[in-house]
Chains A and B, each alone.
Chain A
Amino acid sequence: MAGGPPKALPSTGPHSLRDMPHPLAGSSSEEAVGGDSTPSPDLLMARSFGDKDLILPNGGTPAGTSSPASSSSLLNRLQLDDDIDGETRDLFVVVDDPKKHVCTMETYITYRITTKSTRVEFDLPEYSVRRRYQDFDWLRSKLEESQPTHLIPPLPEKFVVKGVVDRFSEEFVETRRKALDKFLKRITDHPVLSFNEHFNIFLTAKDLNIYKKQGIALLTRMGESVKHVTGGYKLRTRPLEFAAIGDYLDTFALKLGTIDRIAQRIIKEEIEYLVELREYGPVYSTWSALEGELAEPLEGVSACIGNCSTALEELTDDMTEDFLPVLREYILYSDSMKSVLKKRDQVQAEYEAKLEAVALRKEDRPKVPADVEKCQDRMECFNADLKADMERWQNNKRQDFRQLLMGMADKNIQYYEKCLMAWESIIPLLQEKQEAKFPVTAVLS
């Protein structure tokens, strides 16, 4: 198992062990957070179902818990090991506390951005500002402009069909908040992007609109030069590695799209199943009212089915809120990465064209003109940045998907455990002998 690759930073961002609980943490996270720095050798710990000493009243369900050997706690250990082997963090960013603002012209949501840093680029050790989606969008455009050789993380979708989705519903806002938090954490983790001035302003400025209006040109040298790369150059040969990345991204996005569709279909089927279950349980109650000796057992079964229904509802909600958004985010990510690859192609194409032009001029001077050298420089920097980012991206992707898939599996396990407990709790009720309760002369008992 060992600690993971030391250079890669977990994409979910640095965790201040005190402030930021692990996203998957249930009640079992205490053991993981408790400063256990040695990697756990027992990945294959078996779950024991009979361990719980939960005394449930008939039909009661405990509040969501995960059993000691849950995969989320195992995941916590792995995550921590990565952290400890990684670099020390000096920048922490959190997005939380969504608030609705109602103005004459419009209604919108703002999110609180809290920044803690020891970096010299920040005047104060701590900042707290409010930003709305528009602001995030501005930041992203600025980053794309100023750091065109890097992969900029995606934002959650901008537009929502007004009639279909409620932009102000708790679920929607929370899903968006999580995605925005992820966005900023990814930038925070990036060794180049996190030092970008626009990012700094975004995190610290009291009034972002002033900066937006001023349109401060904070373009880096690279950004400036790449900006002026004209298209229209035809690329001769794409280096194998970048061709491979392109192909990979195509297939990757395709597969994720399919998985997204399947997941949506599953959710739909689960909802329909839930509808039927909600009708099924109460029929046992109706029956129970007719009976004497069987009344309690039947009522017990009814309550049990009710609990299972609730558990299923929670599972379906989790899938919608946690699983689907990540799939969509990676599809968007792939798209934006493809456009960066295209830009790289153009830079290379320009260089090659200029080089060829020089070669054709058949000058005696072997020295390469300055502007061709510049192009070569540009291309090589671009290639290097892109390669580094790709590697970072691959690592983060691996971790994100590990967390995602394990998280879903864990949620499923929790669902089955809730159902299991519900059914186990009524067995004694069903087996109970009811002797003196119902007199023999009663008509229907």
Chain B
Amino acid sequence: MEQATPDPERQLQPAPLEPLGRSDAGLGVTVDEEAERAREEGSGGDTMTHNNFWLKKIEISVSEAEKRTGRNAMNMQETYTAYLIETRSVEHTDGQSVLTDSLWRRYSEFELLRNYLLVYYPHIVVPPLPEKRAEFVWHKLSADNMDPDFVERRRIGLENFLLRIASHPILCRDKIFYLFLTQEGNWKETVNETGFQLKADSRLKALNATFRVKNPDKRFTDLKHYSDELQSVISHLLRVRARVADRLYGVYKVHGNYGRVFSEWSAIEKEMGDGLQSAGHHMDVYASSIDDILEDEEHYADQLKEYLFYAEALRAVCRKHELMQYDLEIAAQDLASKKQQCEELATGTVRTFSLKGMTTKLFGQETPEQREARIKVLEEQINEGEQQLKSKNLEGREFVKNAWADIERFKEQKNRDLKEALISYAVMQISMCKKLSGLHLVWTNSYLCFSAL
């Protein structure tokens, strides 16, 4: 289990400046200034100067979704959705964008990319993917993955995912990410060739570490606690919101029943007829207005969902820290025990239990030569162990430093994004209230006009 060292092969030159925040189709990533500086300083290992990709402003969009059929690994026919990813570079001077790359990817490839990033950047809060299956649905929405509304929302979510990576100062430099956007064929093989699956930590190991680690950094413990709570509260919120949407839909739809009966009533009335007809019509308009309202609200739910899944990513970083810390503690413990063994052998006292000691007792004392040999081996091991401990310590501190930097970045992003989400939610409610209030007012005015005739 090693932390991926910044590999020049995997990284591209410059980094973008501003993080993006929200997913808007085709937002650009400005990389120019950084690129300039990098080239001047000649920093970084291999400079991919032959690749001008990152030296211009780029726009990424997931512009289309298409149903496909194909054969899966078990040679069975399956239906899946493919998404078109288009990358454009924007000319500085005239702002025109030129399509540089366009390819199709399916959800599983996005997953592969993300899993790769999780392994190679364990200190980064990796942006989450939109949900695999529709959850927190209310009755009108289909839970079917092939449903066009679901596909559309997923398209937006995937685009957002890519934009988040592209705007991340470290992740955007990753070569595999670059190839994801540019190399249609063989990309999967390329990823697998990195052997990242082997480097992944086993879940069992991670779980073990969580329970056994003695001195994790308190900040990470607190952060993990926070991410658990965040996940719990957002789930609750989304569940209740879905129920609220369901009920609201019911209220509006029953109003729709008024339309017909008011119309029938108006037929038997003389003076009241027109007014009643108008009332019926307005009831119908009212009833049908719920569809737009709830569609807008789904967008808000998606924004919350992203942070629900981000909580998981946050927890992953904490777990990684625990794992590293545990590893360190074990190594230190191991070293300490070896040192003690060595000491005992040297001084002839036996305090610690060792198998050798046991067998010695059973089968007779060892010779001084044998003992010397053993001490030598132990000393070598101790040396090695000390080196390892030193590097692990270094690694650990680097991890904490880098991880915490990214966590701070993430916190700012989260606060910004969620505030914006709440504002647009409030704006949505305001516009809905105005619209519906206006509708009633129009109706009352028309009724009063009719009845005054």
Which parts of B319-355 form the interface with A (CB within 8 Å)? none
Of A119-127, A200-208, A259-267, the one touching chain B: A259-267
Q: How far, in whole Å, are A416 and B251 apart by their CA atoms in the complex?
A: 15
Known contacts A259-B258, A279-B240, A443 near B419 by CB under 8 Å: no
Find out whether the CB atom of B419 lies under 8 angstroms from the CB atom of A297.
yes
Indicate whether B434 reaches chain A with its CB closer than 8 angstroms: yes
> Which residue in A262, A398, A420 is a CB contact (below 8 Å) of B430?
A420
Task: Please encode chain A, from 389 to 423, with 1 for each CB lying within 8 Å of some chain B CB and 0 for all others.
Answer: 00000000110011001100110110011011001
Provide the residues of chain B in CB contact with A74, threshold 8 Å. Answer: 444, 448
Task: Quote the shortest CB–CB distance from B245 to chain A (angstroms).
Answer: 9
Beta-carbon contact of B254 and A283 below 8 Å:
no
Number of interface residues of A (CB under 8 A): 65
B204 at the A/B interface (Cβ < 8 Å)?
no
A271-290 Cβ-contact flags toward B at 8 Å (1 or 0)? 01101110110011011001
Is B198 in contact with chain A by the CB < 8 A criterion?
A: no
Contact B250 A269 (CB under 8 A): yes
Inter-chain contacts of A63 with B (CB < 8 A): none
Which single member of A273, A276, A294 contacts B418 (CB below 8 Å)?
A: A294
Residues of A within 8 A of B222 (CB): 443-444
Whole-angstrom distance between the Cβ of A265 and the nearest chain B Cβ: 5
With A1-B452, A259-B261, A293-B415 known to touch, is A298 a contact of B251 (CB < 8 Å)?
no
Q: Does B373 contact A (CB under 8 A)?
A: no
Q: Which residues of B contact A38 (CB under 8 A)?
A: none
Given the complex, which residues of B lie within 8 Å of A443, measured CB to CB?
219, 222-223, 226
Query: Residue B292 at the A interface, CB < 8 A?
Result: no
Contacts of A266 in B (CB 8 A): 251, 254-255
Q: Which residues of A contact B257 (CB under 8 A)?
A: 262, 265
Tell me which residues across on chain B come within 8 A of A287, comparing CB atoms.
230, 233-234, 237
Q: Which residue of A lies closest to B452 (CB)?
A: A1
Contact between chains at B261 and A255 (CB < 8 Å): yes
Question: Is there a chain B Cβ closer than 8 Å to A339's Cβ?
Answer: no
Judge whether B374 is part of the interface by a CB distance below 8 angstroms: no
A51-59, A110-118, A424-432: which lies at the interface: A424-432
**Closest CB-CB distance, A45 to chain B, in whole Å?**
8
Complex alpha-carbon distance, A305 and B408, angstroms: 31
Give bound CA distance, A59 to B352, whole Å: 68
Q: Is the interface of A mostly helix, strand, loop or mixed?
A: helix
> For B436, what are the chain A residues with a Cβ–Cβ distance below 8 Å?
412, 416
A168 close to chain B: CB less than 8 A: no
Q: How far is the CB of B435 from chain A (nearest CB, A)?
A: 9
CA distance A269 to B255 in the complex (A): 10
B440 in contact with A401 (CB, 8 Å): no
Judged by a CB distance under 8 angstroms, whether B98 is at the interface is: no
Please tell me if B108 contacts chain A, counting CB pairs below 8 Å: no
A262–B261 touching, CB < 8 Å: yes
Report B13-40 residues with CB < 8 Å from chain A CB.
none
Shortest distance between the CB of A335 and any CB in chain B (Å)? 17
**Contact in complex: B415, A427 (CB < 8 Å):** no
Determine whether the beta carbon of A444 is less than 8 Å from that of B254: no
Are B441 and A413 in touch, CB under 8 angstroms? yes
In the complex, which residues 247-280 of chain B have their Cβ closer than 8 Å to any Cβ of chain A?
A: 247-248, 250-251, 254-255, 257-258, 261-262, 264-265, 268, 271-272, 275, 279
Is A277's CB under 8 angstroms from B430's CB?
A: no
B391 interface hit (Cβ, 8 Å) = no
A275-317: which have CB < 8 Å to B? 275-277, 279-280, 283-284, 286-287, 290, 293-294, 297-298, 301, 304
Residues of A contacting B234 in the complex (Cβ-Cβ under 8 angstroms): 287
| Residue of A with least CB distance to B246 | A276
Within 8 A of A (CB), among B401-453: 408, 411, 415, 418-419, 422-423, 425-427, 429-430, 433-434, 436-438, 440-441, 443-445, 447-449, 451-452
B419 proximity list for chain A (CB < 8 A): 294, 297, 430-431
Known: A44-B445, A259-B258, A412-B440. A419 touches B429 (CB 8 A): yes
Give chain B's interface secondary structure class.
helix
A217: Cβ under 8 A from any B Cβ: no
Contact with B along A24-52 (1 / 0, CB 8 A): 00000000000000000001101101000
Report chain A residues within 8 Å CB of B423.
Answer: 427, 430-431
Q: Is the CB of A43 within 8 A of B448?
A: yes
A276: B residues at CB distance < 8 A: 240, 243-244, 246-247
The answer to whether the Cβ of B236 comes within 8 Å of any Cβ in the partner chain is yes
Partner of B437, one of A277, A301, A416, A427: A416
Known contacts A43-B452, A276-B244, A444-B222, A283 near B237 by CB under 8 Å: yes
Contact among A262, A402, A423 with B275 in the assembled complex (CB-CB below 8 Å): A402
Does A252 reach chain B (CB closer than 8 Å)? yes
Residue A2 is within 8 A (CB to CB) of chain B in the complex: yes
CA distance A445 to B410 in the complex (A): 11
Closest to A304 in B: B426
Report how far A2 CA is from B449 CA in the complex, Å. Answer: 11
**How distant is the Cα of A423 from the Cα of B449 in the complex, in angstroms?**
32
Given A276-B244, A286-B233, A443-B223, the answer on whether A297 and B444 have CB atoms closer than 8 Å is no
Instruction: Answer whether A269 and B415 are a contact pair too, CB < 8 Å, given A301-B422, A413-B440, A419-B433.
Output: no
| CB-contact partner of B447 in A255, A293, A405, under 8 A | A405
Contact among B230, B241, B433, B444 for A406, CB-based, below 8 A: B444
**Chain B residues whose CB sits within 8 angstroms of the CB of A401 once the complex forms:** 272
* A 208-245 to B, binary, CB cutoff 8 A, 1 in contact else 0: 00000000000000000000000000000000000000
Chain B residue nearest to A288 (CB atoms) is B233
The 3 closest A-B pairs by CB, nearest first: A273-B247, A416-B437, A420-B433
Q: A43-B452, A259-B261, A409-B443 are in contact. List 5 more A-B contacts (CB 8 A).
A: A43-B445, A255-B261, A269-B251, A280-B237, A406-B444
Residues of B bordering A, CB below 8 Å: 219, 222-223, 226, 229-230, 233-234, 236-237, 240-241, 243-244, 246-248, 250-251, 254-255, 257-258, 261-262, 264-265, 268, 271-272, 275, 279, 408, 411, 415, 418-419, 422-423, 425-427, 429-430, 433-434, 436-438, 440-441, 443-445, 447-449, 451-452
Tell me the A residues contacting B by CB distance below 8 Å.
1-2, 43-44, 46-47, 49, 71, 74-75, 78, 248, 251-252, 255-256, 258-259, 262, 265-266, 269-270, 272-273, 275-277, 279-280, 283-284, 286-287, 290, 293-294, 297-298, 301, 304, 397-398, 401-402, 405-406, 409-410, 412-413, 416-417, 419-420, 423-424, 426-427, 430-431, 440, 443-445
* 13 A–B pairs (Cβ distance < 8 Å), ordered by A: A47-B438, A265-B257, A272-B250, A275-B247, A276-B247, A279-B240, A283-B240, A287-B230, A287-B237, A293-B415, A301-B426, A304-B426, A424-B430
